[in-house]
A and B are shown apart, each in its own frame.
Chain A
Amino acid sequence: MTFLTPFMLAGALAAGIPVAIHFFFRSRYRTVPWAAMKFLLTSVEQTSRRLKFQELLLLLLRMAVLVMLAIAFARPISSAVVGTGRGDSVDAALVFDVSYSMAAQDGAKSRLQRAKDEALKIIDELPPQSTVQIITCTEKNHTLVGPRSPGNLDQARLLVQNLEIAHRATDLSPGVIEAQGVLQRGQASNKELYIFSDMQAQGFEKEGDKLKATLTAIKEKALIHLIRCGKGNLKNVAIVGITPQTGIPRPGERVGFAVLVKNTGRDAAENLTVSLAVAGDKAPPEKAIIKKLPPGETRAVTLDAKLETAGLRVLSAKVIQDDLDADNRFDHVILVREQVNILVVDGNYKEKDADTSSSYFLMHSLLPVREEQRATYKYNPRVVPARQATALHLKNQDVVVLVNCSLKAKLGKRADVLQAEFVNGLEPFVRKGKGLVIFCGDNVDPESYNTTLGKKLGLLPMPIKSLFKAEKKPLLVNRTSFGNGPPAYWVFKDEKYYEDFNNVEVWKHVDLDEAAVAKKIEPKKKPTPLDEADPDDPEAKDKNDAKEKPSPKDESPLSVVVRLSNGKPLAVAKKVDSGEVLFVATAAHHEGLDPKTFIPSWTDFGTAPQFIPFMDVTINYLVNGQTQTYNLKAGDTLNWYVTDKQDFVYNLVHPDGKVARLGTPERIGKRFIVTASDLPRAGVYHMTVHPRGADSSGDTIDPAEAAKIGTPIAVIPDLSESENLATLSEADIDSRLGFTPIHIVAGENSVSTGDERLNREWTVWALLAVLALVLLEAGFAWWCGRAW
C-alpha cells in the first residue's frame, strides 16, 4: 500500500493530541479538602482498574480516529509509487515486443497492428495529465522510443502508429527493465505497465529470472497488463542457410548452392516455391518446389546461380508463402574470385635441391594439376624463402603458409630466419580476416614460437611444450577425431574415400599444451577486413604494437581439427578476430628419410594421397571464413575497419535506402574502426565510403545505386525467433511469474483501466473506518458515562 498524498500522513501526529489533553487536564485539577476519604478510597479501589481500562480504550479509540483520518487524507492506494498526488493521472509505460514474430498475420491484421490499435485505445482512455513512454524491445535490445515530452499524448499516438518490426528474436526482459526505470522516474500518482506481445515462450525464457524479478518489483508499484496480440498457430517456413556446393566460387561459373528450408510451424507446409537470385543478375532466379515439408524438418534444395564477375556477390533465397514473411528471405554474401592467392614461406628452401625443401610436397598439393593448367587453377601459390619474406609479400594474399620457419637464429646453422617485420605483419593480416597455416619442422623452436607467435602476437593456438619423437612405432592419425573439429573437415570422417587417413604415419610432432589454454573465451567481434591497404600501413611496423593492441591472450574460440592416435592434437584452429590460424603439429615434408628403412624423420603426411584434399579443405575453410564477416544477423554490431580516419566519411545504406552516417572512426589498438550497432532489419546493407567533403548523399539513397558504389553486407533475421513459435497460455505466464497480472487479448477485451484505478484508492474505505471509529468511541464513551 502506498499513498497519493503521503505528506498528509504527518497528520497522524495528531494522535498525540488526546494523550496531551489527557496529561493537560490531569495537571489542571482543583484541590478539595475532604472528610469522607474512607468512601472515596473504597470507590477508587473498586473502580480504578476498570476505569483505567476504559480510559485507555477511549484514548486508543480517539488516537485511532485521528490516525485513520490522516491515512484517509493521505489517500491510500493498493499499488502506486509515491508521487506528487496529481489526482488520478497515470504514468504509463508501453512496452512493445517488436520481434519479427509480431509481424505475423493473425486474421485480418498483423500482430503488431493489433498491438498498435490496442495501445491507441489505452492512450485515449488515459486520464488528463497522464504521461506515456513507449519502449520497444527484442533480445538484448531495447529502445526508448519516446515521446520526448512524456505528456505529449499526440506524439505518443504518432510514435505508436510508426512502430516497426525488428528482425531480432524476442525477449521481454530488456524492455521491462527499461520500463521499470521509466515508471520510477514518473511523477504521477498511478503507474501502469502495458506489455504488448504475442506471448511467445522465448520472450519469458531467455532471461526468465531477471524478467520475473523485475516484474515482481514493478507489481508492487504499478498495475501490469499483459496484452496478447495474437493467438493460434502460425504456419511458417524459414530459410536457414545457403551453402555453396563448391569450395571457391569463381567468376563465370555456374555454382550450385544448397538452400536449407525448415518448417518451424506445427503443420506440414505444402507446395513451397524456393528461389535463389544473385543481386544484379538480370536472369530470372532459379526456382524449385517442395511439395510437402513436415513440421520440424529441414530440407536442402539445390539451386544454381551464375556468378558473372569477381568480388562480393549477394545471394538471395526466398520461399513463399506462409504467415510470417520475415524469415522467408535469406541474403548471403559470398566472395567470388579468380584465384586464391597463397603465400608459402619456406624456412628450409633449397632452390637447387627443390625436393628437399620443406614446401616441396605442399606446393604440389596446392597445385595438383598439369603445368599448363596452373595459371587458371583456383589456387595461386607462391613460395618465398623465409629470410626473403617481407611485409610487402602479404599484400593481396589470402592465405599465408609458414613451413618449417625459424623465428630465432641458431648458432652454427645457416641463418634462414623470418624477419621481424614480416612476423609482426602477420598479426594484422590475420585479424583482418585472412588465413595463416603453420607447419612444423626442424627449424621450429618451441621457445621462440611461444614467445613471438604466442604471447606477443596471439597467433599460436596453443603453447608448444616440447618435441615428441616416436621410437619404434609411428603415431597414426585418428580419422574419427575430425568429427570434433570444424564442420568443413567432417568429410574426412564421414566419407569412406578418406579411410587411409588412419594410415598416415607421424614419427615426430610438437607437443601442444592443451591444459594451458585459457578456457574462458570472450565473445568474439565480427570485424570487416576490407582495409586493403592496411598491410602497407607503416604503423603495422611499429614494434610497440603489442603494447597498444588488445590483449593478445588466447581469447578466441579454439578447435582441434584432428588428433593423433596418442590423443595429442595434430592440427588446431584458432579464430583471431575475423581471420583464422591453423597450426599443424608435424611437418609438411618428411624432412629426411632413413637410408635403410625409408622411415621419414617427421611424417609421411606430405606424400600421402590425403594431403591434397586436406590442404584443399583447409584453404577453402580459411577463405570462406573471410566472407562470414559480411554476413551478419539482425542485432549484431557491424565493426568496420578503416584505412584513414581523416579523409573519408563512412555511410551505411539500409535496405530501405535510408543512409546512416557512422561517425568518426575510433582507434582500437593500432587500428581505426567505425561501428554500426543499429541493424534492426534483415536485408542487404551497403557500406559506402566518400572522401571528406565529397559526400553529397542525402538522408536516403536508391538501394540499386548503393549497390553499385558500396560494399554489400547481408543481414539475416535472427532465426532463433522462428525456431520455436510456441506461445504461453495465461496460466503458464502466471506460474512463471509467480503472480497474476491483468491479461488482455487485443481486440477482444475492452481495456477499461478506469475501474482498476478507482479500486486501487482506499480513501473511501478509510473515511468509513474513521466514521466507524467515531461512532464506536462515542458509544463507548456514553456507555462509560464519560462526558465529552
Chain B
Amino acid sequence: MPKYLNPEVIAKAQALGLKARTVVEGLRVGDHKSPYRGFSVEFVQHREYVPGDDIRHIDWKSYGRSERYTIKQYEQETNFTAHIMIDASRSMLYGEGDTNKLEYAKTLTAALSYLIIHQRDSVALDIFDSDWRDRLPASGQMGHIQTILETLESLEPRDKNAMGPLLHDIANQVQRRGLFFLISDCFDDVESILGGLQHLRFGGHEVIVFHILHPDEIDFPFNGMVKFDAMEERMHLLTRPQMIRPTYLKALQKYLEDFQQGCERNRINHVLMNTGKPLAESLTEYLARRLRTRVA
C-alpha cells in the first residue's frame, strides 16, 4: 500500500462517494450532471415548443392539461474532471508526524484522487507555492493514481505561499467546468485568495477549499518564553505566548470568519481541517455533510 493511501480513509470516503454538486462537463455518460441538456433519463424541465423541435419530445399529457405544446427536457449525466491544487509552501511543513499539515494535505489529496478515479472521473494535480511547482494533467486511468502518489512522495516545500495569481491563472486555463479542490493553510492575503476563487467560480467550477490548520495554530497553546521563527520569511519574534494568546485567537478567528464569509458569498465550500483530528473522520464528516446537502 502506497504511503499516502490510507485504507481507513479510502474505505470511509468510498462508502460516501463524491459527486459534483454543480454541473460539470464530461466526455462520457456518468454520474454527474452535464450542461448539455438532451433527452436522457433524468427529467429536468418543460419548455415551450418552437418550430423545428422534434415532435417526439412533445409532452402530450401536458398538452391535455394546458392545451399548450411543451417539450420535456432531460439532464444528461456525464463524468467530471477534478483539479486538486495542493499548497507546497514552507508554511505547510508545520507539525509533527500525522499532524504535519503537508502530510495531512498529501494524504487528503491521495484519498480524493483515489475516490475520484475510482468512480471513473478524472483528476488533475496542481502543486504550487509561489508558482506552479508541478502539474499532472487530468486522467481517469487507475494508473494515474500511481503517478499522483509518486509525485506527492517526492514533494518537498521550498518557497512561500502566493496562491492568488495562480488561481486566476488556472481559472483562465481550464475551460471545461469541473471541480476544484484547494488544499492549503491559506496563509496569504484573504482578498487575494478569494479573488482567485471567485474567478474559478465565475468559470462555473465548483470549488472546495480544504483549509488545513494545525491544532497549535488554532489553539496557540504555548507557554513560557518562546522564539517564533517564521517559516516562510527571515524573521523571528521573542515573546511570552500566554500574554498574547487572546489577541492571537481573536486575530485568527477574524481571519477565518472573513475567509468563510468570502467563500459563502461565492458559494464555495470551506472545509476547516484540523490536523489534530484524524483525516478519515474529518473527510467522512465533510462527505456526509455534502451528501446530506445534495439530498436536501
A residues near B (Cβ < 8 Å) are 25-26, 28-44, 46-47, 51, 785-787
Q: Is the CB of A42 within 8 A of B229?
A: no
In the complex, chain A residues whose CB is within 8 Å of the CB of B252: 36, 39
Q: How far is the CA of A32 from the CA of B94 in the complex (A)?
A: 10
Min CB gap A54→B, angstroms: 8
How far apart are the CA atoms of A25 and B227 in the complex, in Å? 12
Please give, as numbers and ranges, the residues of chain B lying within 8 Å of A787 by CB-CB distance. 223, 242
Q: Is the CB of B224 within 8 A of A34?
A: no
Chain A residue with minimal CB distance to B242?
A787
17 additional contacts, CB 8 Å, given A32-B226, A33-B229?
A26-B225, A29-B225, A29-B238, A32-B228, A33-B93, A35-B94, A35-B214, A40-B239, A41-B237, A43-B244, A43-B247, A46-B247, A47-B244, A51-B240, A785-B242, A785-B243, A787-B242
Chain B min CB distance to A574 (Å): 95
The 5 A-B pairs with the shortest beta carbon distances in the complex, nearest first, are A35-B91, A43-B247, A29-B225, A34-B228, A43-B248
- Given the known A-B contacts A42-B247, A44-B239, A44-B244, are A25 and B229 also in contact in the complex, defined by CB atoms under 8 Å? no
**In the assembled complex, how far is the CB of residue B247 from the closest CB belonging to chain A, in whole angstroms?**
4
Interface size classification for chain B: 35 or more
Of A26, A35, A43, A785, which one neighbours B250 at CB under 8 angstroms? A43
Q: In the docked arrangement, what's the CA distance between A40 and B227, Å? A: 11
Point out residues on B near A: beta carbons under 8 Å. 90-94, 101, 185, 187, 214, 217, 222-233, 235-240, 242-244, 246-248, 250-252, 255
A30 contacts across to B, CB distance below 8 A? 224-227
Q: Which residues of B contact A44 (CB under 8 A)?
A: 237, 239, 244
Report the bound CA distance from A43 to B217 in whole Å.
13
Instruction: Tell me whether A29 and B226 are in contact in the complex, defined as CB-CB below 8 angstroms, given that A43-B248, A787-B242 are known contacts.
Output: yes
CB A26 to nearest CB in B, in angstroms, measures: 6
Contact check, B94 vs A37: say whether CB atoms are below 8 A apart: no
| Contact of A37 with B235 in the complex, beta carbons under 8 Å | yes
Chain B residue numbers with a CB within 8 Å of A29 are 224-227, 238
Closest B residue to A46 using CB positions: B247
* A46 cross-chain contacts in B, Cβ below 8 A: 247, 251
Query: Are A47 and B243 in touch, CB under 8 angstroms?
Result: yes
A51 x B243 contact (CB < 8 A): yes
Shortest CB distance B241–A (Å): 8
- Measured CB to CB, the nearest residue on chain B to A41 is B237
Closest Cβ neighbor of B229 among chain A residues = A33
- Whether B255 lies near A37 (C-beta < 8 A) is no
Question: Are A47 and B247 touching (Cβ within 8 A)?
Answer: yes
CB closest chain-A residue, reference B252: A39
16 residue pairs A–B, Cβ–Cβ below 8 Å: A26-B238, A28-B225, A31-B229, A33-B94, A33-B229, A33-B231, A34-B230, A35-B92, A35-B231, A36-B187, A37-B232, A39-B255, A42-B247, A51-B240, A51-B243, A51-B244
In angstroms, Cα B244 to Cα A342, docked, is 115
Contact of B229 among A28, A32, A39 (CB under 8 A): A32
> Nearest Cβ distance between residue B71 and chain A, in whole angstroms?
56
Chain B residues within an 8 Å CB radius of A34 = 94, 228-231, 237
Contacts of A786 in B (CB 8 A): 243
Write the chain A residue with the least CB distance to B244.
Answer: A43
* Central interface residue in B231, B237, B248, by most chain A CB within 10 Å: B248
Are the C-beta atoms of B251 and A42 separated by less than 8 Å? Answer: yes
Query: Smallest Cβ distance from B164 to chain A, in angstroms?
Result: 15
Contact A40–B228 (Cβ < 8 Å): yes
A118 to chain B minimum Cβ distance, whole angstroms, is 66
Distance of A31 Cα from B222 Cα, bound (Å): 11
CA distance A32 to B238 in the complex (A): 10
